[in-house]
Amino acid sequence: MPLDEFDLIRRYFTRATPGAALGIGDDAALIAPAAGLQLAVAADTMVEGRHFFAGADPYSLGWKSLAVNLSDMAAMGAAPRWFTLCLTLPAADAGWLADYARGLFALADAHGAELIGGDTTSGLLAMSIQILGEVEPGQALRRDGARDGDDVWLSGPTGAAALAVRQRYGELALAAADLAHCAERLDRPVPRVALGRALRGLASAAIDVSDGLAADLGHIARASGLAAEIELALLPQLPLDPAVQAVPGYDLARLAGGDDYELCFTAAPAERARIAALGAELALPLARIGAMRAGRGVTVRDAAGQPLALPRAGFNHFD
Ligand SMILES: [Mg+2]
């Protein structure tokens, strides 16, 4: 028996929302941010064929569609609180919806984020989430706060998701264990929310790496009116068989692959000890990968200090 829209919402997406004054079920939800806090608002859409392959695992889609939004909260130093979900579905498949909802709520529950509303439509598979978080006025991690001489930091290795995509296109033949790691990073990224919260008052600027490390650091550089330099030798290696480092395009995947959802942030050199302690506390391999300088654009230097000649593809919005 086909499910109608109201059955769908009730069966898979209606949950208790103690953090909202009114949750799912009326024309709009009602929320009251804590006194004195600002609302941080972001939205992200994923479309089949553009952001994920046809036939993708629904649990992973549920997880990732929220993860990319939580990552934007992390990049702002905001605490995620509420989100809305707009689902466009080719058919109301009960098994698919149950798995999608499980993936979505697994991550939502881990971060105390409540689904308070949304919409369902029929059409090509797509999901759009708007998320709302809270942050203290003046404490949000913005892109425009980097200063000349600041260190550039990265919360973990980049490039795994891009390698998984290349393998799915038949361009690589990673060993099974390496592919499993890369596919996990692509399909179920872990948003660095606790890190983002802990960087309030410590980082001068931050962004989450969604488009590729160099391009996203370029956004910080442009917004801050500075140049950024990355030292390739300081970039964390992926925890894969070292042979993968010889794969053509390995460095390009780390610098421009995208879909990593690590945080890239800047901080004064005086904060190095505090940041190292924070990495130990959160069990994250925080790596200092470069510095902010006067000028514009992003430069990547090789081990000999020479600027790396990189293909233009993937780097068009460098500066
Ligand atoms: Mg972002």
Q: Where residue 309 falls among pLDDT bands split at 50, 70, 90?
A: confident
What CA–CA distance (Å, rounded) separates 158 from 168? 18
- For the chain, the straight-line distance linking the first and the last C-alpha, in angstroms and rounded, comes to 54
Whole-model pTM: value is 0.95
What CA–CA distance (Å, rounded) separates 123 from 130? 20
- 10 Å CB burial of residue 135 (0-12, 13-18, 19+) is buried
Q: Determine the distance separating the centroid of ligand 1 and the alpha carbon of 303, expressed in angstroms.
A: 29
Q: Is 254 strand, coil or helix?
A: helix
Range 178-191 average pLDDT: 97
Q: Determine the distance separating the centroid of ligand 1 and the alpha carbon of 66, expressed in angstroms.
A: 13
Give the per-residue pLDDT at 194. 98
Q: Determine the distance separating the centroid of ligand 1 and the alpha carbon of 72, expressed in angstroms.
A: 5
HSE (CB half, 13 Å, CA atoms) of 43?
A: 9
Beta strand spans in the chain (E): 38-47, 79-89, 114-122, 126-135, 151-154, 205-208, 227-231, 263-267, 287-293, 297-301
Distances (CA, A) of 218 to 63, 214, 289: 28, 6, 14
Beta strand spans in 1-113 (E): 38-47, 79-89
Give the per-residue pLDDT at 113. 98
CATH number of 5-135: 3.30.1330.10
Q: Determine the distance separating the centroid of ligand 1 and the alpha carbon of 11, expressed in angstroms.
A: 31
Q: Determine the distance separating the centroid of ligand 1 and the alpha carbon of 174, expressed in angstroms.
A: 29
pLDDT per position as a tens digit, 199-211: 999 999 999 999 9
Q: Which 8-state DSSP code applies to residue 207?
A: E
Q: Determine the distance separating the centroid of ligand 1 and the alpha carbon of 102, expressed in angstroms.
A: 24
Q: Determine the distance separating the centroid of ligand 1 and the alpha carbon of 206, expressed in angstroms.
A: 9
Note whether 269 and 151 are within 8 A (CB).
yes
Give the per-residue pLDDT at 2. 61
What CA–CA distance (Å, rounded) separates 314 from 236? 20
Range 106-129 average pLDDT: 96
Do 5-135 and 151-301 fold alike per CATH? no
Q: Determine the distance separating the centroid of ligand 1 and the alpha carbon of 67, expressed in angstroms.
A: 11
CA–centroid distance for 206 within its chain: 12
Say yes or no to pLDDT of 7 above 80.
yes
Distances (CA, A) of 303 to 42, 234, 244: 38, 9, 19
Work out whether strand 114-122 and strand 79-89 pair parallel, antiparallel, or are unpaired.
Answer: parallel
CATH topology of domain 151-301: Phosphoribosyl-aminoimidazole Synthetase; Chain A, domain 2 (3.90.650)
Work out whether strand 126-135 and strand 114-122 pair parallel, antiparallel, or are unpaired.
Answer: unpaired
pLDDT per position as a tens digit, 55-65: 999 999 999 99
Domain boundaries, the chain: 5-135, 151-301
What CA–CA distance (Å, rounded) separates 77 from 140? 5
Q: Determine the distance separating the centroid of ligand 1 and the alpha carbon of 175, expressed in angstroms.
A: 31
Q: Determine the distance separating the centroid of ligand 1 and the alpha carbon of 74, expressed in angstroms.
A: 9
